[in-house]
Amino acid sequence: CPCGAMAGYWDGPEGEECPRRTWLTTRVGAAAGGLVGTAYRIILLQPNSALAALQMAAADSVTM
Task: Give 10-55 pLDDT, tens digit per residue.
Answer: 777 888 888 888 888 898 888 888 889 899 989 999 999 999 999 9
How many other CB atoms sit within 10 Å of the CB of residue 12? 11
Residue 32 neighbours by CB under 8 Å, 6+ apart? 2
Q: Is residue 54 within 8 Å of 28, Cβ to Cβ?
A: no
With b for 16 or more beta-carbon neighbours within 10 A and e for fewer, the 47-56 pattern comes to eeeeeebeee
Q: Which residue has the higher pLDDT, 1 or 37?
A: 37
Enumerate residues 6+ apart whose C-beta is below 8 A from 61: 34, 38
